[in-house]
């Protein structure tokens, strides 16, 4: 397919959603203002029906346009390309002479956050063409990395006997082993950090995928978390125990510490509304009656009881026990398995409903994107748009002009670039127009995502 076709197809799909977000949210607020007008309720139902039919037809385009095989092959080819590069990088013939980049696992945060720390190190290693060496000594989780996942290298492991030079802000070409600090403490940030993807892959990726940065991050996770045989066995046993099967929607509900410090609480019903939407569209695509199933992952085990009580028509899959692994327990080395199982099975779901403010859900979504040619539309986030912790920014570009309609909104001229703060999922996004420096709301359909890329030049020399 042409790049233009793929981009247009995805744009029509996402703008159909944006259109519905807008109408739906306006009707809801009208319904609250104008009590007793039944017509508004009817409209809501009718608009929903029309929307789902339209969305189904647009998503069916991928089944009838004859490019499915191309998408599959292109995604496999691109993935092999990156996986082979990582494999070469990680297995130098002589480790004692290889340039290395070391990170440790002492970052004071939980599993999803630590995985993202490792991915960031791996990206810097890739860009500076250094073998990534993980020092997993004193990991706050019970197990060593190698007990659960494959070691990151067959030829090179961490050695305390090397002289290690602290990262000085730019890659010190002459230092053999460099230690990289956590992303929050990085000075002189290099251009190749998220949301930049490598320039040499940008064109192909922006044809294949709706959100190339997610694909790119996913590739590092794919390499990093290759389960050891014992982990695979445990995952298989767990799948049997919980009777994991498709169709299934992954629902991740983050409670406990996060709601106190970082994110707003969302009720179970909010998540389930989106699950219902998913199954309504899915049912339109099938003659047989679809069994509605969710995989529930949460750090609040009481949600299992609530879900079973309120949604008896659903099969609720998941393990109440493993959701008891709160941060406090994790720091006391109680259980890594729970969160590994949950992230893994969330990533295997057909669709995700969660809050992207949580790294658990973002990680599951990143892994999910290694399992499909393009899973960039297979989610609903109740809060943030996708981001990478410590990233530079997400960029949009205006393709339609906009005149602000009220003090909350901003003006846009065609080609204005906008730093995105978030999507309000009501037809509007919030961001800062770089030209005017003004922050505010703008209709999401008036912009397109900008594929941000940077030169990971050392790699181009080696591989192209």
For residues 235 and 451, which CB has a smaller minimum distance to ligand GDP in the complex? 235
The first and second tokens of residue 77, run together, are: 């080819």
Using CB under 6 A, which of the segments 175-183, 189-197, 296-304, 379-387 binds ligand GDP? 296-304
For residues 319 and 416, which CB has a smaller minimum distance to ligand GDP in the complex? 319
- Torsion on CA atoms 86, 75, 389, 303, rounded to nearest 10: -120
140: contact with ligand GDP by CB under 6 A: no
Tell me the per-residue interface mask from 88 to 127 with ligand GDP, x by CB under 6 A, - otherwise: ---------------------xxxxx--------------
For residues 177 and 360, which CB has a smaller minimum distance to ligand GDP in the complex? 360
- Give the separation between CA 218 and CA 126, rounded to whole angstroms: 14
- The SS3 of residue 134 is strand
DSSP for 153-170, please give it. -SS----TTS-EEEP-SS
254: contact with ligand GDP by CB under 6 A: yes
183: contact with ligand GDP by CB under 6 A: no
322: contact with ligand GDP by CB under 6 A: yes
Using CB under 6 A, which of the segments 84-92, 234-242, 303-311, 354-362 binds ligand GDP? 354-362
210: contact with ligand GDP by CB under 6 A: no
Among 200, 315, 327, 411, interactor with ligand GDP by CB under 6 A? 327
- Among candidates 294, 338, 344, 345, which has minimal Cα distance to 316? 294
221: contact with ligand GDP by CB under 6 A: no
268: contact with ligand GDP by CB under 6 A: no
For residues 123 and 346, which CB has a smaller minimum distance to ligand GDP in the complex? 346
| Of residues 275-294, those binding ligand GDP (CB under 6 A) | none
- The SS3 of residue 193 is coil
Size of the site for ligand GDP (CB under 6 A): 22
Tell me the per-residue interface mask from 64 to 83 with ligand GDP, x by CB under 6 A, - otherwise: --------------------
For residues 316 and 322, which CB has a smaller minimum distance to ligand GDP in the complex? 322
- How close are the terminal C-alpha atoms of the chain, in Å? 24
- Strand partners of residue 396: 418, 449
The first and second tokens of residue 226, run together, are: 């290759």
Burial class (CB in 10 A: 0-12, 13-18, 19+), 406: exposed
- Give the separation between CA 249 and CA 423, rounded to whole angstroms: 22
353: contact with ligand GDP by CB under 6 A: no
Among 131, 207, 358, 369, interactor with ligand GDP by CB under 6 A? 358
Burial class (CB in 10 A: 0-12, 13-18, 19+), 95: middle
The first and second tokens of residue 270, run together, are: 């909010």
Among 130, 252, 292, 394, interactor with ligand GDP by CB under 6 A? 252
For residues 90 and 258, which CB has a smaller minimum distance to ligand GDP in the complex? 258
- Give the separation between CA 318 and CA 429, rounded to whole angstroms: 34
Burial letters 219-237, b for 16+ CB under 10 A, else e: bbbbbbbeeeeebeebbee
For residues 127 and 225, which CB has a smaller minimum distance to ligand GDP in the complex? 225
List residues binding ligand GDP (CB under 6 A): 109-113, 252, 254, 258, 297-299, 322-323, 325, 327, 330, 338-339, 342, 358-360
């Amino acid at each position: 397919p042409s790049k233009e076709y793929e981009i247009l197809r995805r744009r029509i799909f996402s703008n159909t959603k944006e259109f519905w977000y807008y109408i739906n949210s306006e009707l809801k607020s009208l319904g609250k203002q104008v009590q007793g007008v039944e017509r508004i309720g009817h409209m809501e139902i009718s608009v929903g029906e029309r929307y789902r039919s339209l969305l189904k037809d647009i998503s069916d385009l991928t089944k009838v346009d004859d490019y499915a095989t191309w998408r599959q092959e292109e995604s496999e080819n691109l993935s092999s390309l990156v996986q082979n590069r990582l494999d070469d990088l990680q297995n130098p013939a002589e480790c004692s002479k290889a340039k290395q980049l070391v990170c440790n696992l002492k970052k004071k945060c939980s599993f999803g956050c630590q995985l993202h720390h490792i991915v960031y190190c791996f990206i810097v290693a890739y860009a500076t063409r250094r073998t990534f060496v993980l020092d997993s000594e004193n990991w706050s989780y019970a197990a060593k990395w190698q007990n659960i996942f494959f070691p990151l290298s067959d030829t090179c492991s961490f050695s305390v006997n090397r002289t290690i030079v602290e990262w000085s802000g730019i890659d010190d070409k002459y230092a053999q082993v460099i230690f990289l600090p956590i992303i929050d403490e990085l000075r002189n940030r290099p251009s190749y950090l998220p949301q930049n993807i490598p320039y040499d892959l940008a064109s192909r990726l922006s044809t294949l995928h709706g959100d190339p940065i997610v694909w790119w991050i996913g590739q590092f996770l794919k390499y990093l978390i290759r389960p050891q045989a014992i982990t695979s066995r445990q995952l298989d046993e767990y799948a049997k125990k919980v009777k994991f099967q498709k169709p299934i929607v992954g629902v991740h509900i983050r409670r406990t510490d996060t709601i106190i410090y970082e994110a707003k609480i969302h009720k179970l019903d909010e998540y389930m509304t989106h699950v219902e939407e998913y199954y309504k569209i899915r049912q339109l695509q099938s003659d047989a009656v679809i069994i509605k199933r969710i995989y529930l992952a949460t750090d609040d085990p009481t949600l299992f009881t609530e879900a079973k009580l309120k949604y008896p028509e659903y099969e609720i899959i998941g393990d109440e026990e493993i959701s008891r692994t709160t941060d406090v327990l994790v720091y006391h080395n109680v259980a890594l398995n729970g969160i590994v199982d949950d992230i893994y099975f969330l990533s295997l779901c057909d669709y995700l409903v969660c809050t992207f403010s949580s790294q658990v859900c973002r990680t599951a979504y990143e892994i999910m994107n290694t399992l499909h040619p393009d899973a960039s539309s297979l989610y609903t986030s109740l809060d943030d748009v996708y981001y990478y912790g410590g990233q530079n920014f997400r960029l949009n570009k205006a393709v339609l002009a906009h005149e602000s309609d009220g003090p909350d909104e901003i003006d846009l001229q065609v080609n204005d670039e906008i730093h995105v703060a978030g999507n309000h999922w009501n037809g509007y996004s919030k961001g800062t127009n770089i030209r005017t420096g003004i922050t505010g709301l703008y209709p999401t359909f008036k912009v397109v995502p900008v594929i941000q890329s940077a030169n990971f030049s050392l790699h181009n020399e080696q591989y192209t």
